[in-house]
Amino acid sequence: MRNRNSFEKFATLVAQGTVIAALLIAWEGLAGGFGLNLKTLDPVFFSRPSRVAADLINGLSKGEFTRDFLFTIQTSMWGLVLGIVSGIAVGFLFAYLPWLNRLFEPLMVAFNSLPRPALAPVLVLILGLGMASKIVLSWSIVFFIVFYNTYAGIMSVDPDLVKVARIMGSNRFQIFRHVIMPSVFSWVFAALRVSVAFALVGAVVGEFVGSTQGLGYQMEAARGVLNSDRVYSILLILMMIGVVLTEISKAIERRLLRWRPPSPGI
């Protein structure tokens, strides 16, 4: 059984690798590689895998990405942390003070409906080209995700759990600590993966619009001088950052929500 399983895993891996390799080879060939000189994909715009790899290695060895990489990571992590903390805080506030919720509901709905990248120009205008405008943009996305999850988490606390906790003699604080909080955190952590991904989106979009640093900025600068190799290199780096952050949040989720039945199929 185990053998069969590990064989299947191996076969899947090979198949997946083949698909990726085929796409890369096609890209390389169609963009003038392998001495074929095909120009189906103009390498000026499409570059090609070998050139991207060369540029990536070259850039990495010279440390050309380091500063911008750190900038992007810092802004998105600040956006993430601030978004989570404020989202939880405001979620609780609104859940416990229904009048506050009623008062602000239209405003919250309006802001949440706003495509957040559209805020970028405004934020750059107000906060300048530095880190602040990107952090706020990143925050503005994460905040709503966490806020709505916190609110939903509080509203969906199982009343039977509150009931038994109360009959067993729990005071208000203990009910909050042992029933409400775990329930809310399960919602917030379930949304962690999405939050992390959107924190990165916020940071990069902010850098596109107006910045002096960051991977988004460097990409935009490379585009300006038609350096397509560099554009794709940065795309690859961003992809890697996304994958790593997603895996980290998955691990956190698994650890903290191990009491949940595994969802079928995933």
Partner 1 sequence: MKQSKIRLDNVSASYGSADQQNLVQVLHNVNLDVQEGEFVSIVGPSGCGKSTILNLAAGLWSSADGAISGSIKVDHADRKQTIGYVLQKDALFPWRTLIKNVEYPLEITGLPRKQREEIAREWIDRVGLAGFEDRYPYQLSGGMRQRANIIRVLAYDPEIVLMDEPLGALDAHTRMVLQQQISDLWSASRKTVVFVTHDLEEAILLSTRVVLMTKRPATVSASRTIDLPYPRTVMNLKLTPEFRNLYENLWHEFCDLLR
Where on the chain is the footprint of partner 1 (CB under 8 A)?
A: 158, 160-161, 163-165, 167-171, 174, 178-179, 182, 186, 258-261
**Minimum gap (Å) between residue 179 Cβ and partner 1:** 7
3-state secondary structure of 147: helix
Q: Residue 101 or 186: which CB sits closer to partner 1?
A: 186
> How many helices, marked H, and strands, marked E, lie in the chain?
13, 0
CA dist list (Å): 103 to 88, 89, 108, 264: 18, 17, 10, 40
**Minimum gap (Å) between residue 169 Cβ and partner 1:** 4
Q: Residue 170 or 227: which CB sits closer to partner 1?
A: 170
**Minimum gap (Å) between residue 173 Cβ and partner 1:** 10
**Minimum gap (Å) between residue 49 Cβ and partner 1:** 46
Q: Residue 62 or 172: which CB sits closer to partner 1?
A: 172
Cβ-contact 215, 204 below 8 angstroms: yes
Q: Residue 77 or 161: which CB sits closer to partner 1?
A: 161
Within 10 angstroms of residue 37's Cβ, the number of other Cβ atoms is 7
Can you tell me the distance from the alpha carbon of 184 to that of 57, in angstroms, rounded to the nearest whole number?
44
The CA angle 45-43-231, to the nearest 5 degrees, is 50
Can you tell me the distance from the alpha carbon of 112 to that of 231, in angstroms, rounded to the nearest whole number?
31
Dihedral angle, C-alpha 138, 144, 150, 153, nearest 10 ° = -130
Q: Residue 125 or 164: which CB sits closer to partner 1?
A: 164
**Minimum gap (Å) between residue 253 Cβ and partner 1:** 14
